[in-house]
Amino acid sequence: MAGRGDQAITIHLSGPLSGCNQTQREAWRQELAQLLHEFTCTSPHTWGDTWDFSRNLRAVAQCDILVANMWKESIGTTFDIIYARNLGRPIVLIDPNHLENKLLEGFVSPAKPVPNLRKAASLVRELANTMTSFDIRKKDGTFEPFSRTKLIRSVRLAVAEAGIADIEFPNQIIAPVAEALLRMTQTRVATTEDIRDQLFLQLDRITELVTERAFTREAAAAVKEAWRSREARKQGDQAIDALRSEIEGLRNELAARETRIAQLQSALSEKSPRAGGPDGSGLQHPTDPMDGVPPPASVADSLQRAAAEFADCMVVLPQAMDSAADCPLEDPLKALIAIRLLGRCTRERMAAHTMGTHFVGPKQWFSNHREEAPWLDYAPHESPTTAGKFGSERTFLVDGRPTFMEQHLKIGAGGVTSTLRIHFKFDEHGRAVIGHCGRHLPNTKS
């Protein structure tokens, strides 16, 4: 069985079926199949009652070479030829009765119809020899099998982009390019650049042939320009992808370095002689008694101090001050630490946005700073049930607009003297707007 490497070459035998007796349908096909015994031959005459239009289309699409015996006029055979031609399949046209159908001869051009089965078999073998499989080396150094179908698709795309309506024009290019590449592989490895060079060479030949119609010469020039434009777009897309990939890599590197910085800061805090605040947080602040500044007297005091320190990136609503004044938290220093952490997170978030750099997000940020306040948790949202039933308690007026604030910081989960909730939302400027800083708001467990 002849083939490309380990792959068999398939020949589809097309010819008149309707209006023919059994001998007319079968005799020539059987004789040609014997002449082409080393190939796999398919033929609709063997399908019997299972013949249908779709099956015939699949057979033509799956074959490597179409042999069409036009011993009499046949619409079905003509359609097979047109379909195979549009797929870029080589066609061997047999004209034993010298019908000299100019339409069909045009479809197989530049090849000529053959007068008998033996010459058809000889031509099939010549075509099969041009179908030896070979690999193409891509720009990245890897290899892939040469695909005639892929070449056909690329040429047809360039033809369409050039606005060429001649469906036959691509077929003038594909076969010579494939044959030139095959000849090239006899002495060296063919590359994707060789495909382009051979394609342009064939287009230039058509452009320069005075025997070609002016329309065809202009079409060749237009296709060449369309191919170049597509190459430029592809190179631009590749450059953009490379930049995006580099940006993503730098962002990942930045995130890793930020995490490492947080780890080193935590380790430094643990090894410092002054490590360990009176609340056991391990974080020293200007508000700590050890720094000569008295601790906050209340949650409201903590909120006021932090709001003043982070006035550039934090907005405290009146409702938040009211809730802080009503909060009986026994350790207001924890409130100050939590609000200051929120201020630092917000400031870094705004700086990253300004500089166009990557920010890890609040959830990861608080996770990275967990050792500074191990009793503090960040929640990005409320449960759907809580948001649905108790959304109004978490909605605050910001510049006259009701604003739902489900992001919150959590301290404690027990009684009111050990519990604090800080609800906030980042506004359009990136600032943290605090709407509540006090008791646990109502939820499904209240």
Query: What digits encode the pLDDT tens for the residues 122-165?
Result: 999 888 877 767 788 888 888 888 877 788 788 888 888 888 77
Q: Are 325 and 303 in contact (CB under 8 A)?
A: no
Residue 105 amino acid letter: E
Go through the chain and tell me how many residues it has.
446
The answer to whether residue 281 scores a pLDDT higher than 70 is: no
Residue with tokens 């705004």: 350
Give me the helix-helix angle, 214-271 and 148-161, nearest 10°: 110
Residue with tokens 């009211």: 322
Mean pLDDT throughout 70-93?
Answer: 88
Closest CA to 78 of 97, 96, 95: 95
Give the model's pLDDT for residue 292: 54
Domain(s) labelled CATH 3.40.50.450 in the chain stretch across 3-129
3-state secondary structure of 423: strand
Closest CA to 67 of 23, 18, 125, 20: 125
Give the model's pLDDT for residue 270: 61
State how far the Cα of 403 lies from the Cα of 398, in Å rounded to an integer. 6
Residue 238 amino acid letter: Q
* Integer angstrom CA distances of residue 14 from 6, 77, 80, 94, 130: 26, 6, 7, 10, 22
Give the model's pLDDT for residue 424: 96
Give the model's pLDDT for residue 203: 86
**What band does 378 get if pLDDT is binned at 50, 70 and 90?**
very high
The CATH code that applies to domain 3-129 is 3.40.50.450
**What band does 369 get if pLDDT is binned at 50, 70 and 90?**
very high
State how far the Cα of 280 lies from the Cα of 374, in Å rounded to an integer. 9
What are the start-end ranges of the E strands in 287-353? 314-316
Residue 433 bridge partners (DSSP) = 315, 425
Give the model's pLDDT for residue 354: 84
Comparing 7-11, 171-175, 282-286, 352-356, which segment has the lowest mean pLDDT? 282-286
3-state secondary structure of 218: helix
